[in-house]
Amino acid sequence: MEIHKLEEPLEEPLIVKIGWKRAVALLLVSLTCGCAGPNATNTPDPPGNYATKFPLIENPISEGGKWVNGAVVGLDWANVSTTPGRAVGNETGARFSDGTAVLQTLSWKPDQKATAVVSTTGAPLDDCSQEIELRLRTVISAHNITGYEVNYKFSTNSSAYMQIVRWNGAFADFTVLQNFSGQQFGVTDSDTVSATIVGNIITAYKNGVQQGQVTDSTYSSGSPGIGFNLDNGSSGCRGTNATYGFSSFTAVDSTQGSF
């Protein structure tokens, strides 16, 4: 059988080759630089975050040097300690020397969210001001704590309250920015509390439901953390720190303006 040799294909004109190569190059540049046009959506940057279920026995809490405490560094306040699965305060002295710990050794953007699950044993003592607290934009140094606190009273009756507080620096120097009272603002075992600060707006949540919101522009930086209050001046209060605390804690930050 006779076999015919195929003719060589005609060479593309030079101008076609140059145009095709330039189009491919432009396509590659657009893909690598992300220049997809005005309708493209930016991928959010990954947030800073920290999560713990307090797996260690530590007094004060450290978790590898990540936490800064109110007595060790702040000197005038108390520390936070942990046993596996729980964090509690250690306030034994004067009023307002709350057990306090913040993630000050980590880097945090100004917009922050802190979330914790409440862990309680036994019944609350309503005369003792047993509070669980979330910290935002907080800085601890010698004889000085600044930042914001959202607190809930460990209570199951009408003596309960929720407060958003600004700490002004010196011991016992704080400003209550918002205060709500009533049974619905108390917390007990397994309740989840959250606090966010976005710009100058601070918002408090209990079990996913907003409980309060206030605006304050005093502090623009600092770290999230936890705290606990106990009024040792009332009878039967001293030594009850371990009856209320947190079983887990999570903190995240954001540059997107929301959580």
Note the pLDDT tens digit of each residue in 159-177. 999 999 999 999 999 999 9
H/E run at residue 17: helix 14-33
Determine contact, residues 48/253, Cβ cutoff 8 Å: yes
CA-nearest of 206, 239, 244, 212 to 228 is 244
CA-nearest of 103, 132, 112 to 225 is 103
CA-nearest of 186, 216, 184 to 203 is 216
Residues 6+ apart with CB under 8 A from 148: 135, 136, 137, 138, 164, 165, 166, 167, 195, 197, 202, 216, 219
Q: What is the pLDDT of residue 101?
A: 98
Q: What is the pLDDT of residue 151?
A: 98
Q: Once rounded to an integer, what is the mean pLDDT over residues 143-159?
A: 98
pLDDT top residue among 20 and 254 = 254
Q: Which two tokens stand for residue 65?
A: 């040097």
CA distance 151 to 163: 5
| Beta-sheet strands, E only, within 128-256 | 131-141, 144-153, 161-169, 174-181, 192-198, 201-206, 209-215, 223-229, 244-254
Q: Which two tokens stand for residue 210?
A: 């907003």
The mean predicted confidence, pLDDT, of the chain is 87
pTM of the model: 0.83
Query: Scanning the structure block, which residue is given the tokens 């936070």?
Result: 80
pLDDT tens-place string over residues 235-253? 899 999 999 999 999 999 9
Apex 248 CA angle, 221 and 118, nearest 5: 100
Residue 23, helix vs strand vs coil:
helix
Instruction: Out of 27-31, 69-73, 173-177, 226-230, pick the least confident.
Output: 27-31
Q: Once rounded to an integer, what is the mean pLDDT over residues 190-217?
A: 98
Band (48; pLDDT cuts 50, 70, 90): confident
Instruction: Give the whole-number percent of the chain exceeding pLDDT 90.
Output: 78
| Pairing, β 111-120 against β 192-198 | antiparallel
